[in-house]
Amino acid sequence: MNNASTPLANLLGVAVRTLNSLAPLKTLQGNSNSQGRRSFDGATARRASGLGHFGSANAEIAAGHAQVSSRASYLAANNGYVSNGVTNIVTYLAGTGPRPNVRGESREVTRSIHRRFDSFSADADFHGRTDLGGLIAQITRDMVVHGEGLAILHDIDTGLKIQVIPPQHLDGSKSVNLSDGRQIVQGVEFDAKGRRVAYWIFPEHPSAIFTAQAASVRVDAWDVLHVFHPFSAGQVRGLSWLAPAILPANDLNAWKDALLVGAKMGAMQAGFITEASDTGGDEDVFSDPIWEPGSLTRLPLGATVTFTAPDQIKDAPALLRMTLQEIAAALGLPEFLLSGDLTSANYSSLRAGLIPFRSRMEQVQYATLVPQLLRPVWRRWLLTEMLSGQSDTPIGAAADWIFPRPQQVDPAKDLAATEKALSMGLTSRTAAINELGWNADDIDEEIKADRDREADLGLGFTKTEKPNAA
């Protein structure tokens, strides 16, 4: 009997163990009777019923890019706070224009390259309206407001030229699968390996006046600069930095308008006259009332005027500050760089607010502007120089990019810290000069020229330290 019952016992044991192993799974799948229920609040409908849903970055951008770009452009042009914030971001990112610092070449070659690039920078604009620094500022502003900057590189008789065009020229409606695994996504053409090979660009602005809308044309990626700061892997086009600030900025405009109208009406101090003997017939008084300070308006018999007396004005400063902080947070700005209000600022608060902002901006400078804008222009210019035969500039010359240094809250303290770092051997003089936004070779040559000129004229403005005697 024992031998006969052994298989049955084993079978029962397996069944029990299986049921025990399924018990936790049932709890995880949402057993309402279990006290150990686990879930993400953000995935439930109890408190997140009003939240929207966000799909893939490319799908969301394709659906909302044009609308967001248009509204962001409107706010940047009409909302004083947003305009100020955008200008401060662009000023920090681009400034007066970054400069290259050639590495790995002799001093003579380095100086020659720098001089020739300075000459190119001064005349880089295809339209002849600004220099390379101005073009970089234009592209940067488009990147902030519209989410992306766009430019075309031209090789003409006078050398390399850069033509900045509005990002609306990129045909975002053109998405199609091509043969051999190639595809066009929102106007950007990719090869089978996912590399950008061309852009489909409208010859004229889609909303240009007196111009018939022409179909987009294919432009090789080698001739296009497409600059945007991605927030998702595989992102094809950029999204306006103002996207999370559009609604609060619009609400702020509407609230301020209503508040100002209410305050204006409250300040009118108009009077109304009602005559007991009036028999009516002056209904037209309400069709075009006189709202001027000190005005007196006669009302028909029995008519009364009631004004609302909103007291929201007392809460206006706090609400304004809170809304501005929300907009500033959406743009990644300290609030005072949006509103310009420094009444409660001091050295510590200014520095604490600027440090994370500058770190964020440096990330954009060196992770977006350098690889997507400056390096392509540098490589193209080196190639143009070599093919023109006008100089012996090495085609593989590498360069670091020096961005203009923003103004400091307390320059004396920063210079004292730099001096201490130099004395402790924690940095080099070249690095310190580069951090100031200048090229060390330029500074050294200017210092030498100043000293030589002072010696020739018998002047002694420049103080020099003599080396210690042995």
172 found inside a domain: no
What pLDDT is stored for residue 11 in this prediction? Answer: 57
Cα gap 67→387, rounded to integer Å: 44
425 found inside a domain: yes
Local structure of 102: helix, strand or coil: strand
What pLDDT is stored for residue 217 in this prediction? Answer: 94
69 found inside a domain: no
Tally of domains in the chain: 2
Cα gap 420→18, rounded to integer Å: 70
Q: Which ranges of 146-242 would DSSP assign to H, the alpha helix?
A: none
Beta pairing, strands 183-185 & 188-190: antiparallel
Q: How would you label 406-439 residue by residue, b for 16+ Cβ within 10 Å and e otherwise?
A: eeebeeeeeeeebeeeeeeeeeeeeebbbeeebb
204 found inside a domain: no
Q: Is the CB of residue 326 less than 8 Å from the CB of residue 251?
A: no
What pLDDT is stored for residue 22 in this prediction? Answer: 53
What pLDDT is stored for residue 469 in this prediction? Answer: 45
State pLDDT tens for residues 272-329: 666 666 555 555 555 566 666 667 777 676 667 666 555 666 677 788 888 999 999 9
- Residue 248: how many other CB atoms lie within 10 Å: 17
C-alpha distances in Å from residue 43, one per residue of 27, 31, 47, 244: 17, 17, 9, 22
127 found inside a domain: no
267 found inside a domain: yes
Final residue belonging to a domain, choices 305, 331, 357: 331
Residue 323 token pair: 């809304």
Final residue belonging to a domain, choices 284, 300, 331: 331
305 found inside a domain: yes
> Which residues constitute the domain of residue 305?
258-331
What pLDDT is stored for residue 369 in this prediction? Answer: 97
What pLDDT is stored for residue 27 in this prediction? Answer: 47
Fill in the amino acid letter for 75.
L
C-alpha distances in Å from residue 372, one per residue of 112, 163, 303, 315, 430: 25, 16, 70, 46, 26
Residue ranges of the chain whose pLDDT lies below 70: 1-39, 45-48, 209-212, 265-294, 299, 301-303, 305-314, 390-391, 462-470
Give burial (CB, 10 Å; 0-12/13-18/19+) of 42.
exposed
390 found inside a domain: no
Q: Which helix (H) or strand (E) holds 24?
A: helix 2-28
Final residue belonging to a domain, choices 331, 364, 396: 331
